[in-house]
Structure 1
């Protein structure tokens, strides 16, 4: 368990420190004996080395905790420099009457932690030794703490590998044949359905190319396509689109198959998945889309569950890696680069999972009764500044619209995506028109607010219309195909109906029909993981000396609609309280800071601001903080790392008086 040590000069508070093994390096007999006498009164074990040979023997035999080296000892610093790796973890205290810059630099290189001026007073010597011992104990505690973090990261990584195995099992269980090939065209995955379709065993295909199941007319074309695609990324016009081809079974019997190619990457290796469905023999058969709206619902439901599980496993990896990055000095420097790459990959995965969640319609939203016209009027000003000048944006908003139940930020995203898609369809310029109106369903007599986004661009073919809301479907080489699927997910979560009509050369029209908000509807239909915020806006001041953590916490609170102030140290925090023009409701403070702890800071502020609430955070455990009497029983506490959900729930409970 990590122990928190308060650095100070109070002798009484240092009684629990261990007895140290201390080596005095020096050729001044009187000075050596004086230092030894002082230290032995403190119950330390003291060894004296008057020359280089004795120094080497003592280092090798005595398991030293501290070295005190007289600057005047002949070749003393040179010896310590040669033995640098051997004494890397032993703090060195330099004893000198005076010191030039070159000597001081050499002393720092051999591990000098402090300097003592001759003649040394007993109090100064005792204080310096106690400070060095405290630092040793803190470093030992940190090593244990980081070892625990590394073990947790290892466990979470194993969990992700287990999740990958589950995905493989899922692919094995589906009815469609699934085959994956790598950059060399070699089969790396061949599921049970593929075995049945081609009458080939998995062992016969994995590790080999696709020639056994390709007709002769496709073999050369296939090799050229694979080589070109993996080397250049082109051509990619077949990716994500259903095509009808002929394949052959093990007995050389040909049969028609509909195939959809999906690209991907894993551990820096690229691959292509082929999802295949056997077709009936028909002449002039049109290629139909793989997904209808029902299949989109199934896909979104599957992505919702997978995203939840992946997010659950990914969050600890991000948090623990952030903690390691906060103090990478405990590791060799090349480890820092590995941690940065780990964090980058984890955040990219998190962004992708966020898109999955949006498409599935299961993200946490902040619903409120709003006028759709007000949202459109606000976002149009932003669109006009970001979209090309050769594109005109018009709007026709019906007056006196009823309100809808919506998350404002998500509706703004929806409008931005639709406007951006319209812009891309008009490379030579054109017009985007956004309009609203109210109408009633003739069948159910239910009222709706319709938002229409239309353009006079290139338009879409029937084939594109069938696939426009599918993830990864795109007609642009520089896009990934997640814009309109996100629009679909947002509409779904708002219980809105979305439709699109288009013809080549005649532009496109998107209709989104939102149910009119009814005042008598119970509004507590948020998802299980939605954070319920306090009704009255609150002001929170975050004081944290680590900029990365401080910025992260501020972003979480700002996204939750709190008003947030931030400070990098207790002195700045106190000044901000003095100069504040409004009431600060909550102080979020790191426990271990200089020159005072977050607890002391809060207690001082509490004298002048009696209604101030507090939440203390720390990378050290609550038990260790309470054991060292730093954290008091009545102080709300949250250990790092924590997720945004846990942070917001904790703050909400403090404001409601139901501290978790």
Structure 2
């Protein structure tokens, strides 16, 4: 025992009390120095590596390391540790009690504790960064019970356990384990390390104490799993022989068709200091056990004489554990299947081919209200209402004939008379020979699903009705705007012509300006109607919605005043949308005005953007929503909110909750039309007194739009007598346009329709520079007219004009590249500018 006074024991702080108690009670260890390493199992991977030198630093100390899973082979390698000759099992709890007990509690969801960890539990939880709420949530998700492995080293452990259990609101349990196992392991390890290589033959009791051997063999034969049996075999041979090398090789799994390998009863190892013995049971080789580097190699024959009979018992234990494990797996599979059937929410009913019920699970009891004893032996048809077709009998007949029975939906009645919609599947039950001996039916209650589907269908129908109503109103508004725009064009045009000829001092000048201003207001009104009807022309480009909101927010701030606080939450790196920037700003403006009016005493206007994915589930509940990627903008206020009846009408044109003269009722209708024309969707959420939220979804695009800078007024060339062919079926407007163009210096060919235009072009021998034509005309539209004339006169330029667009020149109101368009009504200045831009290009 010369080396005992030079022993230094390194241990985890959580086991220091146990090691100190053992050292104090063991003469073999009494002079050992105890040192703790400064990290725990939760710190080793973060800041523990390389923080401590386990070496002897040139001293005569012999280091012994005690630890658990935190010092596994991988981490030990990183730290440069040699764990041979140390106590480092996979779990530190194995140091004080058996592996079987530890694994059993862990498998049942227990959180194992040691007295050393428990005495500072408040600090441990605080180091994790947990408050009480977070700690409770974490442990409830992972733990069913707190279990203390009570080693008896601290009197206050039970009190600490109760405090921790109360803090985490979890049940607790204390298991007395003592220190005998750890003490025996330490003494045996020290003895094996300090035993001289050459010594006299040990007494027979060194090989095996009879009583201890009987206990060990009984423990070995009680193993329930192969892994456990092998571990106990290793433990037995380690305690009895203390070899320097102990290894087990599994050579045969016992699977059907597998041949057992040939192996001698034993072989001596190449070192000459040990042997390999076969673990055989009834000529089946389960594996082999290698014992090498024996402390008393000169007595290896005596070791072998004891090992050979033990190997038979060990092989039997492994085979028994393997068979028991397989049996448990089969039984567990049967129990699991039975548990699934029994606990299923669906009604699983076994019956004979005649329809007599022979099994009834909890799902059937829950759905139909009958206990098992009330239904066994009855025909299953009693579950059907009297007026319901007997689907069961029909399906059983198919099963008897060896055919498959397709699932059906039917109605069953419960014990209380409640009718349930069920989805019914009937399958055959076969015996070992494959003969159909019965049938099993799975009936799933789909009453709630059908009700939910009915509710969703009604919601979609309501959305469809609303969309159809708005579409009808939109067509009406678009038609009115078309005719009205022609009239407004005449009014505005002649007003401008008259104002040029009347001096400002003339009283008539004032009258004409009032007429012009009224016409301009009417023009804005018709454009709002066109926006709602989705008949305005869009000039689209790629737009970053967050950028558009950010740049336009200054205008919104000036508009809504200081009483309303604006909050922004704009996402960065949003995908692009294809949009008309001016129309997007119109949407923001209208929503901001609407929010301001809903907050007369001030409040908060919040705008946020984000990228969202609308899946099949969402689109199934929203009419006309296509699944895919969208950019969403949310505009919310803290205003007065609205009831459901008002919410259903807010997008209808001329509907307003404001007083007379306070609004046209076209603001939100315009927003709706603009969003729809961009291929987007808009939804509103509001309750009285709870404010309002508008959510708008624009589809993501990968197409890059074109941005064309308009030329400056001074850069446009003067009129040089270019020839313009004017085609307009409205007489008053046609005469006005021809008059204006003639006055501006153009040579004008004035035509009342497509046929007249074709004839005029055929008779005119000189070059025609440009055609200005209405889009919608009788017999032939403006696009068709231009296509015909272009064949005769290549290079002919064209400007289309209309009160609203049809798909003649635009796709869903979006102009094709290269299309020149003039929206009616237009001023004489707008007409002049458009023609100069096109002719100069």
Q: TM class by shorter-chain length?
A: 0.3 to 0.5
Relative to the length of structure 2, the TM-score reads 0.31
Q: TM-score, normalised by structure 1?
A: 0.39
Q: Which has the higher contact order (CA 8 A, sep 6+)?
A: 1
